[in-house]
Amino acid sequence: MGDRISFDSSVWDAVSRIPHGRLATYGQIADLIGAYGCARQVGWALRRLPLPSNVPWHRVVNAQGRISMSLSREGSDWIQRELLLAEGVPVDEEGRLPLKERLWRPDAMSGS
Contacts with DNA by CB under 7 A lie at 2, 4, 7, 25-28, 37-44, 46-47, 49, 57, 60, 62-64, 68, 70, 72-73, 76-77, 80
For residues 5 and 21, which CB has a smaller minimum distance to DNA in the complex? 5
Residues 6+ apart with CB under 8 A from 84: 58, 59, 67, 91, 97
Contact 65, 58 (CB under 8 A): no
CB of 65 to DNA, least distance (A): 9
CB of 59 to DNA, least distance (A): 9
**Cα dihedral sign, 104-24-35-16:** positive
For residues 21 and 53, which CB has a smaller minimum distance to DNA in the complex? 53
Nearest to 53 by CA among 16, 1, 10: 16
For residues 63 and 85, which CB has a smaller minimum distance to DNA in the complex? 63
